[in-house]
Amino acid sequence: MEHIWRMYSTMKKWLLPLVFLCLFSSALAAAKMTEVSLRYGRQENTIRIVLEGQDELIRNANTITSLSSVRIDFPEAVEIKKQKDFLFETVQKDRFFVINLRDVVDIKTYKLSSPPRIVIDLKSAPKPVKEPLKEPLKELGVKPNIKAPLETQPPAQKSQKDPLPTDAAKAPVPAGQTAPQKPQQPGQTPAASSAPEKTRRLKLLVIDPGHGGYDQGIVLQDTREKDLSLALAKDLNTVLAKKGLTVFLTRKTDQPLSLQERTNFASSKKPDLFISLHASKEDRWNIYTATADEPGTDTAVKMYSSTSKQGKYLEKSRAIAKVLATAIRKEFRGTVALRELALPLLTSLDAPAVIIEYPLAGNSSYDQKMRERVIKTLLSGVTAYE
């Protein structure tokens, strides 16, 4: 009996620390797993709340929304780490988390991966702004190199944008031009507005060679869209620079560039014209301008939709597209399709913008002679508009 007792007391020495160690480590692991961070960003009447946590936790969470509260039922107990000065009152108990809302008129929730997160977009009732917005809207958790368009609006442009009329029929004064322009009459046709005015001059252009890096674009035999667009952009840059225009290229080498990076770069230069060069799979030239209407009424998308930015310049963009189409038809005697589509490269720009697609199909061959013809044509189009 004494022997067993002695064995038991010795075992206690070993077992107890072992049990405690196990319990402590599992408790530590559990605590780490169930942590959910809560952050928010705001812009005008829209607030975005992001709850980020472990994949399984987010995937299996149920979100119940009303205009007065958001209730999230997690599959297990969680610890919510709130951003300081969070706007709303919250209640948390075990696996339930409730956000009590105020003055919200619309609410949307999304579940996104990479990183796993629940995104809650709230639209509050419009009211007079008492103080300027301090914090840009952040879609927290998106890859660092991809920023929401609203985040990247240069402050200089914002201040310039405010006094300008939002009516699409009223063409704003191009950047760098001080002479006041006569506003167009409502109902004026695009053709009428496209007539060259003496005061209108192109001074600064941004040319965007499409694709780049791993994104090759269309590949036809040995010709890759990314290379051809870059070569054409460089040639166009040379001839336009000789004419005294300032030209910026979004890329000068074979490098990948996101759409966001392209529009950010172009916006920062405040160009009088943005031309993006792409190839078409069809055996014809296509020139795209942005669409006039909003693609939808979804709050979340409207936040990022920048059709309104391009809206002011739409008439100019259409006028440039028509002039370029005329020059191309004259030189190549083929069809040129003028199309309007809500392409982000166009809609998110605060400048006249077109996407030109040259044909890269059938027997299209872009030797030196052909490239010179293309450049000559584009130059005559730009000059005609100028």
Partner 1 sequence: MNNRRTVIWVVASILLLALAAGGGYYFVHNFKITKQQKAAPSPESADTMLGQPVDTITLRLHYPSGNRLEITEKPIPRRIRTSAIAEAIIEEYFKLPVNAADSIIPAQVKLLGLYRDGMQILYIDLSDELRRNFHSDALSEYLLLKGLYETIVSNIPDIQDVKVLVEGKEIETLGGHLLLRYPLKNTVSAEVRAEVPLADEQ
Interface ranges with partner 1 (CB under 8 A): 6-7, 10-11, 14-15, 18, 59, 62-64, 108-114, 142, 146, 210-211, 215-219, 225, 258-260, 278-282, 284, 286, 288, 291, 293, 295-296, 298, 300-301, 304-305, 335, 337-345, 355, 357
CB 295 within 8 A of CB 344: no
Burial class of 217 by CB neighbour count within 10 A (0 to 12, 13 to 18, 19+): middle
> At its nearest, how many Å lie between partner 1 and the CB of residue 348?
9
CA–CA separation, 158 vs 177, rounded Å? Answer: 18
Nearest CB to partner 1, comparing residues 92 and 291: 291
> At its nearest, how many Å lie between partner 1 and the CB of residue 257?
9
Half-sphere exposure of 113 (CA within 13 A, CB side): 4
3-state DSSP assignment of residue 65:
strand
Q: What is the CA radius of gyration of the chain?
A: 29
> At its nearest, how many Å lie between partner 1 and the CB of residue 331?
19
> At its nearest, how many Å lie between partner 1 and the CB of residue 235?
21
> At its nearest, how many Å lie between partner 1 and the CB of residue 259?
6
Nearest CB to partner 1, comparing residues 269 and 278: 278
CA dist list (Å): 168 to 209, 291, 293, 303, 339: 28, 12, 11, 19, 18
> At its nearest, how many Å lie between partner 1 and the CB of residue 17?
12
Nearest CB to partner 1, comparing residues 168 and 173: 168
Nearest CB to partner 1, comparing residues 61 and 204: 61
Length of the chain: 386
CA–CA separation, 119 vs 115, rounded Å? Answer: 11
Nearest CB to partner 1, comparing residues 39 and 201: 39
Q: Does 115 sit behind a cis peptide bond, omega within 30 degrees of 0 on the bond before it?
A: yes
> At its nearest, how many Å lie between partner 1 and the CB of residue 243?
29
> At its nearest, how many Å lie between partner 1 and the CB of residue 7?
6
CB 112 within 8 A of CB 22: no
Longest dimension (CA), the chain: 113
Nearest CB to partner 1, comparing residues 200 and 224: 224
Nearest CB to partner 1, comparing residues 156 and 192: 192
DSSP annotation of 1 reads: -
The beta strands (E) that lie in 261-366 are given as 273-280, 285-289, 336-340, 353-359
Nearest CB to partner 1, comparing residues 153 and 305: 305
CA–CA separation, 113 vs 102, rounded Å? Answer: 28
